[in-house]
Amino acid sequence: MRDLKVTLVQSMLHWEDAAANRTMFVGRLAELKGATDLVVLPEMFTTGFTMNTVLAETMDGPTVQWMKEQAASIEAAIYGSMIITEGGKTFNRGLFITPDGSVQNYDKRHLFRFAKETDHFAPGSERVVVEWRGWRILLQICFDLRFPVFARNRGDYDAALYVANWPEVRSYPWSQLLIARAIENQCYVVGVNRVGMDGKSIHYSGDSLVVEPKGQLLATCTPKNECVTTCTLDGAALNDFREKFPVGMEADDFELRV
């Protein structure tokens, strides 16, 4: 398995203004051509964490098209979530888009009831692992981080991506849970969170990071600051660690019901 370069984009977000956010991210992505394999944006990167489903787009709307254009331009995959309407339902949908225009979806399974996300969005029902440049990648969104059973590695992924609008007041659980997911699943974990204040006066400190399978930090973003940083996930090191320390052989069997 070859190495994989991953870029974290920790950014403020223009509240409920998709066009302004797309324009902003163009500048952040433009310099990444040929320098990365995968770019990770925050949760609801076009709007901030709003329950205003009037802002929902369709899968043939402007943001999906924009993501396809950007992925092709920088020759890398892009992952982030946004509000999507489909089949009469509205989802907080993670979109993994590759340079050839391929689109793979993950609908957020664990909705954040405390912000009434359960009142406005439909939960996803499928656990999604995508393949990209020889890597198997689990797609997750924000509150999913608190549910380890859903993310349990069944020998089917090498890295997990968590995109978030995770408030500053709970920043410590954010970082510690990301480390826990990496250790318990023997995988790389990438967590990308936003910074700044949203339209509901909630503050976000970012704290975006990449964790390697033993729990060490490979990359971090300075809290409360915008940041674009790239690090390399070592495929050979991951395989070697799993072969020498195959903890999954003692894992308990379970059945996931959704």
Catalytic residues: 43, 108, 142
CA distances to 55, 109, 158, 254, 257 from 186, rounded to whole Å, are 38, 22, 8, 18, 23
Of 66, 164, 160, 155, the C-alpha closest to 108 is 164
Give SS3 for 100. Answer: coil
7-21: buried (b, 16+ CB within 10 Å) or exposed (e) per residue? bbbbbbbbbbbbeeb
C-alpha–C-alpha distance, residues 151 and 157, integer Å: 10
Count of CB atoms within 10 A of residue 212's CB? 21
For residue 60, the 8-state DSSP code is T
For residue 110, the 8-state DSSP code is S
CA distances to 12, 46, 141, 237 from 4, rounded to whole Å, are 26, 26, 21, 12
